[in-house]
Amino acid sequence: MITLENICVSFNKGTLLERVALDDVSVTIEPGAFITVIGSNGAGKSTLLNVLTGNILPDAGRIVIGETDVTRWPTEKRAGLVARVFQDPLEGTCGALSVEENLALASRRGQSRTLAMALGAKNRSTFREALAQLGLGLEDRMAHPIGLLSGGQRQAISLMMAVLSPLEILVLDEHTAALDPRTAASIITLTNTLVADKKLTTLMVTHSMHQALEVGTRTLMMHTGRVLHDLGKDARAKLSSADLLGLFEELDPA
């Protein structure tokens, strides 16, 4: 169970540029839920993810994961609970390191990280098996610099890196936005498979109306730092992408 209780975040506080990013947001997320988050630019979507991962500490409110209050925990302390995949495939991996070296570092998330400790024969076998599941032939390219791979291949590896070590929450920050439609569809399929297999609680920010309704089982619609609509399975089933777009147009009429 994840509880975000009365979360408030403002940037540039006390200046003329002060902006409210999250305005008294409260959300409860059941274990194993897969929630899509949609909203206009500046709605607070990424800030919501940053609060959950510990990249941003809230000005007010409380964050509870399970029975543990993690409100003041920094990112590194939450690393054993939360993993994140970014929009840019280049951001989640180190291009100068090999595929297996990237996987080795990811496998020790939340622990002391040294490549020597993580690149033993047993771990290499684990990495090979994990990559084989992707069906991209990357298990035969483990010694290659990851910077030589395509964006889609790197994003697939980023997803695998996120779930290599035990975790409870997977956070996806528009992780298909930089990919072409065919590759994006492949990454969504992989995402669904990994989330189901690992039984992860997942939040996925997206700008795609289709993804917002078709992926996962619940949709949060945000605007100006607030959750305006919390759509469960039944409510989503009654909506089309055009209906969801209509809700946005009601908020910001032309």
d(CA 58, CA 60): 5
pLDDT at 166: 74
pLDDT score of 158: 92
CA separation for the pair 205, 85 (Å, rounded): 11
User: Could you give the percent of the chain with pLDDT greater than 90?
Assistant: 55
pLDDT at 115: 53
Res 109: pLDDT: 73
Computed on alpha carbons and rounded to an integer, the radius of gyration of the chain in Å comes to 19
Q: Are 51 and 4 in contact (CB under 8 A)?
A: yes
Place of tokens 């995402």: 191
Query: What pLDDT does 167 receive?
Result: 85
- What's the pLDDT at 201? 95
Q: Which pLDDT score, from 0 to 100, does residue 118 have?
A: 53
Residue 162 pLDDT > 70: yes
pLDDT score, position 250: 79
As a whole number of angstroms, the distance between CA 107 and CA 97 comes to 15
Please give the mean pLDDT across all residues of the chain.
89
227 pLDDT exceeds 90? yes
Q: Which residues pair with 171 in a beta bridge?
A: 84, 203
Q: Which DSSP string corresponds to 63-88?
A: EEETTEE-TT--HHHHTTTEEEE-SS
Residues constituting the chain: 254
- The mean pLDDT of 149-158, rounded to a whole number, is 90
d(CA 97, CA 187): 22
Task: Summarize pLDDT for 23-73 with one digit per residue, the tens.
Answer: 999 999 999 999 999 998 889 999 999 999 999 999 999 999 999 999 999
**Which tokens sit at 139?**
């298990």
Asked whether the predicted pLDDT for residue 253 surpasses 90, the reply is no
How are the residues of the chain apportioned to helix, strand and coil, as percentages rounded to the nearest 5? 40, 25, 35
> pLDDT tens digits, residue range 83-100?
999 988 788 888 889 998
Separation of alpha carbons 53 and 189, rounded Å: 24
Please give the residue that has the higher pLDDT: either 14 or 9. Answer: 9
Condensed to tens digits (0 to 9), the pLDDT of residues 107-133 reads 877 665 555 555 656 778 888 888 888
Specify the fold of 2-251: Rossmann fold (3.40.50)
Provide the percentage of residues in the chain whose pLDDT is more than 70. 94
In terms of Cα–Cα distance, which of 56, 61, 53, 54 is closest to 27? 61
Q: What's the pTM value of the predicted model, to 2 decimals?
A: 0.88
Distance CA 113, CA 130 (A): 20
